[in-house]
Every structure is written in C-alpha cells, then in structure tokens.
Amino acid sequence: MADTALMPIPGMIDPVPTPREVTPREDGRVDLIGLPKKAIAALFEAAGLDAKAAKLRAKQVFHWLYHRGVTDFEAMTDIAKTMRPWLAERFVIGRPDVVLAQHSSDGTRKWLLRTADNHEFEMVFIPDADRGTLCVSSQVGCTLNCRFCHTGTMRLVRNLTPGEIVGQVMLARDELGEWPRGGGTMAGLDDVEDEDGGGYSPDGRLLTNIVMMGMGEPLYNFDHVRDALKIVMDGDGLALSKRRITLSTSGVVPMMARAGEEIGVNLAVSLHAVSKDVRDEIVPINRKYGLEELLQACADYPGASNARRITFEYVMLKDKNDSDADARELVRLIKQYKLPAKVNLIPFNPWPGAIYECSTPERIRRFSEIVFEAGISAPVRTPRGRDIDAACGQLKTAAQKMSRAELDRLAEEKQAALG
Ligand code: SAH
Ligand code: SF4
C-alpha cells in the first residue's frame, strides 16, 4: 500500500502539498467518514447501484453515520438485510486509532491518535461549566515553527484528510458516550442547534464547541478543513452551528477571505506581537504576510461584526511582548483598523527546551487592564491540561518528542534559514 508519506518541512513558511483526499487502507475498502453525501452516492453508483438507489442509500447512510454514530453497517436497520454485507465488503466506517488516552486532574482529556497509515496526531477535550470544547488538529505537525510552540518543532508534516479531521469529532462523541441509544430522535439536538450557549447540561451534550487549534495551521490545509467542517455543520448529521466553531490561524492572509466565505466560522488570529521585529521573530509567517496586511484581512473578514468578534490570541512571553507599551499599541492597532475584536491573553505554556518564560501574573493582569480600559474585552485564558501536556502549544506526539541535542540542531538550522 502506498504510504501517505510524511513530508519534510519545505521551508519556513510554505504550505505542504496535499497528496490525496482519502488515506488508502490496506484492505482496499474505502472509509466513508469525511465524504460528503454526493461522494458517497458516487461511490455507491460506481459499485453498481443505479443513480436513484445510490442517492437514497447515501442519504440513509449519512444519517446513520453522523446522526447516530454507528460504526457497523449491520446497525442500519432501514437498509435491507442483504444490502448490509454488500456495504461492509466495500466500505468501512472508520475512526482514528487511539494510541493513548489521558485524563488531566482538571478534567481535560487528551488523545494521541493514529491514522490508517501510521502517523500520530493529538486531540484535546476541555470541559467547562457551560460548554465542552474539542480542540481539533488539522495537520500532523506544522510547517510554521512559531518559536513558542511545541508543535512547530516537529520536523515532519502531513495534512490530515477530511476523514481524519471529522474522525476526531466522531471519536470524541464515542468517547464521551454522546450518541443516542435506540430509536427516535437525537436527545439534545435542539440544544446544540440553539445559538445562545444553552446546550450544555449534565444530561445533555458534552461536546458543544469546536476549535481548530490543535496541531497544524488549518489555512495551510484549507480544502480539507473546509470539507471537514462542512460535514460537521451539515444539518442532517452532526449539525453543529458555525457560531460554535472557531478556526485559528497564525495569519495566512491570502486564505482568510475564502475561510470567511466558504466556511463562515468564527475567526481567531494568533497575533502575539504588535511590532514587525517581535512578530517576525516569534511568528515567522509574519515575514511573508506582515502585520498591516493581516489586520486589513481581519477588517475585511466576511461575517465579522460586533456580535461576532474576531479573537486575537496573544501569548504572554516575559520581557518579549508583555509591556504596557505593547498593550497600548495593541489597542491602537485594533482601533486604527476598526476591528470588532476581543483579545484572548494566553499565559505561555512551557515545554522542554522552550526558550521563553511566561509573564508574571501581575504583568498579565496589568496588560489585560490596559486593553480592557480601552473598551476591548481581554480575558486571561486559564491554562488547561498542563499536567498531561494538553495545553495550547504543548501538543507534540510522543513519537516525535526530540532530545535536547536535536532541538539545538533545529534551532541552528532555523537561524541559518533566517540568514
Ligand atoms: N496553527 C494555528 C492553530 C493552532 S495553535 C495558530 O497558530 O493559530 C493554537 C494557539 O495556541 C495559537 O494561538 C498558538 O499561537 C498558541 N500557542 C502555541 N504555543 C503556545 C504555548 N507554548 N503557550 C501558549 N499558547 C501557545
Ligand atoms: Fe503552527 Fe500554530 Fe504552532 Fe505556529 S502556533 S507552529 S502556526 S501550530
């Protein structure tokens, strides 16, 4: 079987090519997870059904997959008994393999997952009082090398397929025990579809929100992320509202308008610095798409409004980006571009070999106050799951954890690349 090979990082700031939409399986069957209804119908037709039957079966199967969460064709009771083995010979309903499941003392859960062709990536679930957020990965590793991010030190990258992205949501639902049992409609569906945050309750849904903030840069895997999120939002299936989904980008400016138009979810931007020098250093994509361009793309983001603000993520790094002057400049920029914005201050989460320290709590508080006093919301994000390396920027698969010597070598290579 051809491997969907990991690719060496091609450069500091370039996307990786996308080899294929579906990861081939050794047994030759096709995994239906991640395929839109039309593609499922086309496969059924290619396997011998007439067009009308293929369309009808695709609709039924889609419902079973995403509304009911079944993983066995035998459970599809409205499909003829003779038809079920026919399906099972040709197709599977896949999930990423779980290599390791960890539970933090604060309730956060992290799963180390594996694709059908043996590449590892991570997914995190963060329960809160009024919501449950799944942090989904878009790539194995990341090409971008932000200096404070552990994922950025992974040397090899491959885009996840739509099936591997949707598969994370499916698996999370499995693990949280959230599929409806027996017949009837799905309990709590109305809650999930409402848009005022009322869906979470002890007997209702646990998974209410999705953030594309796991491993990888989602806008460097645009097509797959879009196709996956369309399935997650499909009213016949998982039916998660676009208002409950947030896509975070480090600033892939040319893709931002398309993200707004073609996906339409909430946007978060990893700003992290307000001057060219500092942002060039800590978020290297800034050398390709600078601050002005990025902020203009935010101002132009389709769908942003005072009711749907853009979130600016700002990691607090001691003596790097955390002064009063930085806070005031942040306010000035947001006002200059008239951005409907909120700021999310993220205390830096350390990892072995990181060259930064987190700002002091007093510094973070003062920074937050300055932004807040200018009329912009600036909450400090509580770090979650730090004890299991599940917090922002700590994700990196066990298989790829590097030795100190390897990290040093990488740092040298990075310096050389900067010239
Ligand atoms: N690649 C995308 C999404 C994944 S990262 C992006 O960069 O936006 C999710 C968030 O965690 C980003 O804002 C990222 O900058 C932040 N982050 C990365 N490393 C971190 C660390 N060590 N501590 C705190 N936040 C970090
Ligand atoms: Fe990639 Fe985001 Fe980490 Fe930067 S912060 S290296 S873009 S995952």
Residue 211 has φ and ψ, to the nearest 5°, of -120, 130
pTM attached to this predicted model: 0.88
Q: Does residue 21 lie within any of the structural domains? A: no
CA–centroid distance, 356 to ligand 2, in Å, is 15
Give the C-alpha separation, 95 to 173, whole Å: 11
One domain, residues 183 and 43: no
Residues touching ligand 2 (Cβ under 6 Å) are 142, 144-146, 149, 151-152, 216-217, 250, 270
Q: Give the ligand with the smallest distance to the CA of 256.
A: 1
One domain, residues 88 and 136: no
Tally of structural domains, the chain: 2
pLDDT at 416: 59
pLDDT at 378: 97
Range of the domain at 68: 30-92
CA–centroid distance, 55 to ligand 2, in Å, is 40
CATH of the domain at 129: 3.20.20.70
One domain, residues 76 and 194: no
Ligand 2 pocket check: which of 138, 155, 249, 270 to mutate, most ligand atoms within 8 Å of Cβ? 270
User: Which pair of structure tokens corresponds to residue 269?
Assistant: 């931007």
Low-confidence ranges of the chain (pLDDT < 50): 1-4, 183-203, 404, 414, 418-419
For residue 383, the tally of other CB atoms under 10 A from its CB is 17
Can you list the pairs that 201-207 forms with residues at least 24 positions away whose Cβ atoms lie under 8 Å?
A: 205/132, 205/178, 206/125, 206/127, 206/132, 206/176, 206/178, 207/125, 207/132, 207/134, 207/169, 207/172, 207/173, 207/176, 207/178
Question: Active-site positions?
Answer: 122, 392
pLDDT at 124: 95
- Collapsing DSSP to helix, strand or coil, 189 comes out as helix
One domain, residues 161 and 142: yes
One domain, residues 268 and 204: yes
Tens of pLDDT, residues 188-204 = 333 333 333 334 443 45
Residue with tokens 């209702």: 204
Question: Which residues are paired to 121 by β-bridges?
Answer: 113
Number of helical (H) and strand (E) elements in the chain, helices listed first? 12, 14
Ligand 1 pocket check: which of 147, 217, 346 to mutate, most ligand atoms within 8 Å of Cβ? 346
One domain, residues 193 and 57: no
One domain, residues 70 and 219: no
pLDDT at 363: 98
Does ligand 1 have an atom closer than 6 angstroms to the CB of 346?
A: yes
Does ligand 1 have an atom closer than 6 angstroms to the CB of 284?
A: no
User: Which pair of structure tokens corresponds to residue 273?
Assistant: 């610095």
Give 375: exposed, middle or buried? Use CB within 10 Å, 0-12, 13-18, 19+: exposed
